[in-house]
Amino acid sequence: MNKQGAESLSKRTTWEKAILVAVKTGATKEAEFNSSLQELAGLAEAAGAKVVATLTQARDKPHAATYIGKGKLQELEHLLAEKEPELLIFDSELSPTQLRKLEDKLQIKIVDRTLLILDIFGQRARSREGLLQVELASLEYRLPRLTGIGKEMSRLGAGIGTRGAGEQKLELDRRHIRSRIREIKRQMEKLEKTRELHKKQRHRAGYQVISLVGYTNAGKSSLFNALCQVAHSSGQPQVEANRRLFQTLDTTTRKIKLDSHYEVLITDTVGFIQNLPHHLVAAFRSTLEEAVAADLLLHVVDLADPAYLDKIKVVEGVLEELGAEKERIMPVFNKVDLLAGISPIQAPPNYVSARTGQGIEELLGQIKNRLEAIS
């Protein structure tokens, strides 16, 4: 584990108190708004925050200068005095102007949805490429907001919202940061060439590749482990899997057997999320594009999630943006064991439970049939 990750984990015993702030615009459906707010609370917890209050406002669009209106801003000031949090978390990406105005007015550390996700990625990344991708996304996000964030950093020190930039100090001048961005991109180009070489070696060896994709926390890593327990030579789980959002950032690839003589490669990938920051999509684009270039994509869906249909649409939108071919996408509905009234006998063949192992053998057969059909 890198030093940065160890420090982040050690701080998880000390939670930062946070207030969530969100605007429901006229175009947003109530269920969609509530889902986004619930997800924000999950992201805050994943980053190490304890939500002590939530403030929402219905507006046609966020206020151009302060995100929320004057009356709500006063209400927020009273809430800050009552709850005494360490930070505010906004459920949208704040503009540089909004961030500066809010910091000047409220005198508290402010984190928007984008910076919150960057912070989580900063905690989770382990590989050299993952660390570079997160640092690049973080610096490109912070560069136009440098004045406000730099002031907050020097006054309040470490915590949520400070981990994504790696070792770089935000007080560094813009020229130095732009130089660092160019250096990261140069290093990533080298890593991309190495990955392309490995890809060619796999093709020469004749291996087909399967990628697990899906919404974060759909159970991709658990399914990866379940498949490896049945079809990998070790018979053991291969990656860490739990209910934390964005548990997987760095891709993991293993060789599995679909039958006694049919071997393929299977890859676990980073999860998707609604409003995934474009800085992260750009930084991880080469990794994501390699994932969707696989021979078969298993789109893992949490069937027990009440909002699973909306999350399917989010993932399908990202896959379409990345150029994934629809005929190479195979939906796999996970967590069927959490649904009442569906017995293993009644369940369709693509209904599985990574936790209990239900449907895993059948899924391996489906994978084999699909790969044979497209090869």
Delimit the CATH 3.40.50.11060 region(s) of the chain: 3-175
Dist CA 84 CA 141 (whole Å): 28
Does the annotation list 323 as a binding residue?
A: no
Q: What is the pLDDT of residue 347?
A: 65
- Tell me what the mean pLDDT of segment 226-247 comes to: 75
Residue 369 has pLDDT above 90, yes or no: yes
Residue 103 has pLDDT above 70, yes or no: yes
If pLDDT is split at 50, 70 and 90, which confidence band does 170 have? low
For 284-308, the pLDDT digits (tens) are 777 777 788 899 999 999 999 988 9
Does the annotation list 219 as a binding residue?
A: yes
Dist CA 123 CA 198 (whole Å): 27
Q: Is the whole-model pTM more than 0.75?
A: yes
Does the annotation list 324 as a binding residue?
A: no
Does the annotation list 220 as a binding residue?
A: yes
Its CATH architecture, for the domain 3-175, is 3-Layer(aba) Sandwich (3.40)
Does the annotation list 337 as a binding residue?
A: yes
Block residue for tokens 């006229």: 26
For 312-336, the pLDDT digits (tens) are 998 999 899 888 999 999 999 999 9
Does the annotation list 247 as a binding residue?
A: yes
Is 310 exposed, middle or buried (CB count within 10 Å of its CB: 0-12, 13-18, 19+)? Answer: middle
- Straight-line distance from the first to the last Cα atom of the chain, in angstroms, rounded to the nearest whole number: 39
**Rounded to 5°, angle at Cα 364 from 362 and 368:** 115
Delimit the CATH 3.40.50.300 region(s) of the chain: 207-374
Does the annotation list 336 as a binding residue?
A: yes
Does the annotation list 313 as a binding residue?
A: no
Does the annotation list 221 as a binding residue?
A: yes
Classify domain 207-374 at the CATH topology level. Answer: Rossmann fold (3.40.50)
Does the annotation list 214 as a binding residue?
A: yes
Of 226, 295, 299, 220, whose CA–CA distance to 262 is shortest? 295
Q: What is the pLDDT of residue 257?
A: 92
Residue 95 vs residue 236, higher pLDDT: 95
Dist CA 236 CA 242 (whole Å): 16
Dist CA 277 CA 283 (whole Å): 10
**Rounded to 5°, angle at Cα 102 from 101 and 105:** 85
